[in-house]
Amino acid sequence: MAIKTWDLISAKEIKEKYKLSEKNKENLEKHKIELENIFNWKDDRKILIIGPCSADFEESLYKYAEFLSNLQKKVEDKIKIVMRFYTWKPRTVWGWKWLQNSVPWEKPDLISWIENSRRIAINVIEKYNLPLADELLHPQLVNYFDDIFSYFAIWARSTENQFHREVASWLEIPVWMKNPSSWDISIMSNSIKAGQTISTYIIWEEVYNTKWNNLTHWVLRGGSSWPNYSLENISKTYQNNIKNKIHNPGLIIDCNHSNSWKKFEKQVKIMEEVIESISSNNDLKKFVKWFMIESYLYNWRQDFENIETVKKWLSLTDPCVWKEGTIELIEKLYKLIK
- Report yes or no on 142 lying in a domain: yes
| Least confident span in 31-40, 45-54, 233-242, 311-320 | 311-320
Residue 93, pLDDT score: 61
Task: Judge contact between 181 and 223, C-beta under 8 A.
Answer: yes
Which one, of 191, 160, 101, 155, lies nearest residue 292 by Cα? 155
Residue 4, pLDDT score: 58
pLDDT higher than threshold 60 for residue 2: no
Total domains, the chain = 1
- Report yes or no on 4 lying in a domain: no
pLDDT higher than threshold 90 for residue 311: no
Residue 68, pLDDT score: 97
Most confident of 61-70, 136-145, 301-310: 61-70
- Report yes or no on 92 lying in a domain: yes
Residue 213, pLDDT score: 96
- Report yes or no on 34 lying in a domain: yes
How far lies 158's CA from each of 89, 146, 165, in Å? Answer: 13, 19, 9
Residue 6, pLDDT score: 64
CA distance between the termini of the chain: 60
How do 200-203 and 46-51 pair as beta strands? unpaired
| CATH number, domain with residue 158 | 3.20.20.70
Mean pLDDT for the stretch of residues 248-270:
88
- Report yes or no on 185 lying in a domain: yes
| Least confident span in 85-99, 165-179, 186-200, 305-319 | 85-99
Residue 51, pLDDT score: 96
Mean pLDDT for the stretch of residues 173-191:
86
| Least confident span in 175-179, 184-188, 251-255, 290-294 | 184-188
Binned at pLDDT 50, 70 and 90, residue 262 comes out as: confident
| Least confident span in 87-96, 162-171, 201-210 | 87-96
Q: Which residues contact 115 (CB under 8 A, 6 or more apart)?
A: 9, 14, 17, 18
Q: What is the 3-state secondary structure (H, E, C) of the chain?
A: CCCCCCCCCCHHHHHHHCCCCHHHHHHHHHHHHHHHHHHCCCCCCEEEEEECCCCCCHHHHHHHHHHHHHHHHHHCCCEEEEEECCCCCCCCCCCCCCCCCCCCCCCCCHHHHHHHHHHHHHHHHHHHCCCEEEECCCHHHHHHCCCCCCEEEECHHHCCCHHHHHHHHHCCCCEEEECCCCCCHHHHHHHHHHHCCCCEEEECCEEEECCCCCCEEEEECCCCCCCCCCHHHHHHHHHHHHHCCCCCCCEEEECCHHHCCCCHHHHHHHHHHHHHHCCCCHHHHHHEEEEEEEECCCCEECCCCCCCCCCCCCECCCCEECHHHHHHHHHHHHHHCC
Residue 165, pLDDT score: 96
pLDDT higher than threshold 70 for residue 123: yes
Binned at pLDDT 50, 70 and 90, residue 161 comes out as: very high
| Domain of residue 263, residue span | 15-336
Please give the residue that has the higher pLDDT: either 93 or 286. 286
Q: Which residues contact 281 (CB under 8 A, 6 or more apart)?
A: none
d(CA 115, CA 8) in angstroms, rounded, equals 10
CA 158 to chain centre: 14
- Report yes or no on 181 lying in a domain: yes
Task: Judge contact between 255 and 293, C-beta under 8 A.
Answer: yes
Residue 94, pLDDT score: 65
Residue 185, pLDDT score: 78
d(CA 76, CA 81) in angstroms, rounded, equals 8
- Report yes or no on 230 lying in a domain: yes
CA 292 to chain centre: 8
Percent of the chain exceeding pLDDT 70 equals 97
Residue 164, pLDDT score: 95
Report if pTM > 0.85.
yes
Residue 273, pLDDT score: 95
How far lies 12's CA from each of 19, 141, 333, in Å? Answer: 11, 12, 41
pLDDT tens digits for 52-104?
989 999 999 999 999 999 999 999 999 999 999 999 877 656 677 778 887 77
- Report yes or no on 2 lying in a domain: no
pLDDT tens digits for 266-282?
888 999 999 999 999 99
